Amino acid sequence: MGNRPAELRALLDSVAAQEGDRIEVVVVGNGAPVPDLPVGVRGVELPENLGIPAGRNVGIEAFGPGGRDVDVLLFLDDDGLLERRDTGRLVREAFAADPRLGIVGFRIADPETGLTQRRHVPRLRAGDPLRSSRVTTFLGGANAVRTAVLGEVGPLPGEFFYAHEETDLAWRALDAGWGIAYRADMVLLHPTTPPSRHAVYHRMVARNRVWLARRNLPLPLIPLYLGVWILLTLLRRPTAAALKAWFGGFAEGWRTPCGPRRPMKWRTVWRLTRLGRPPVV
């Protein structure tokens, strides 16, 4: 977005400091000019803010159609910082060791305290953020994706703009037989800020939750999944304004196109359940 030049430069320096082969870098200005970049770093400027998933898709295309010129794509938020110099090597080793590993999610830690918030651990049993495991989704601002996954199941859903685009890609990848890992030893330092800081948060979260279900779930699971999330939203006791925005987004999710519907196989439902997160919550 062009509003964090110092943080962006620190992130780029942390990527350049990684051990092993050089990591090719593209910075996407999502409706904002790209600042001066280090030598060898490419910039792509978009005339308007296309949203998070569409902006990342533009970055993918900078490495050839579908990112085919590289084997793995690394996605990092511009206000993050790679804590260790061996993260690039660990990513390469993880994909080399398991040819069916499709996505690796990093652990996000606060730069001052080193703590990881519960919401940043992509599993229901989130009590121990230092435990790596197979998971059913991943965090969008700190992850690595094998380009073969994108070639098989398609890119991030650009129409989502913000919220749940990672789970949409994760479910499609799992349905195609790929694995997803949460790696606690791959760390991105990132300030602890509430997601509700975004003005569109409550509306987008609700709208995209409906889209996610309509696009990916077998018909019997759609009302169950959305019913659980209505109950969870009410239990969190949001403000009246937030609740109004949430239900407005929920209604929008039903009356607007959600993109192609490709319901997951029932064996994928069972796989998600065995991984600890059935697609009803």
Question: What does the pLDDT look like over 21-34, one tens digit per residue?
Answer: 999 999 999 999 99
Please, which pLDDT band fits residue 76 given cuts at 50, 70 and 90? very high
Residues 45 and 144 in one domain: yes
Q: Is the pLDDT of residue 185 over 80?
A: yes
In percent, the amount of the chain with pLDDT more than 90 equals 96
Give domain status of residue 280, yes or no. Answer: no
Q: Is the pLDDT of residue 199 over 90?
A: no
Q: Is the pLDDT of residue 86 over 80?
A: yes
pLDDT at 193: 77
Range of the domain at 266: 196-274
Of 122-126, 182-186, 190-194, 224-228, which gets the smallest average pLDDT? 190-194
Please tell me the total count of domains within the chain: 2
Question: What does the pLDDT look like over 52-69, one tens digit per residue?
Answer: 999 999 999 999 999 999
Residues 177 and 154 in one domain: yes
Cβ–Cβ under 8 Å, residues 181 and 103: yes
Q: Which of 193, 214, 234 delimits the end of a domain?
A: 193
Q: Is the pLDDT of residue 197 over 60?
A: no
Q: What is the mean pLDDT of residues 142-163?
A: 97
Give domain status of residue 83, yes or no. Answer: yes
Q: Compute the distance between CA of residue 179 and CA of residue 40 in angstroms, rounded to an integer.
A: 32
What is the distance, to the nearest Å, from the Cα of residue 158 to the centroid of all Cα atoms in its chain? Answer: 12
Give domain status of residue 136, yes or no. Answer: yes
Residues 185 and 150 in one domain: yes
Cβ–Cβ under 8 Å, residues 161 and 53: yes
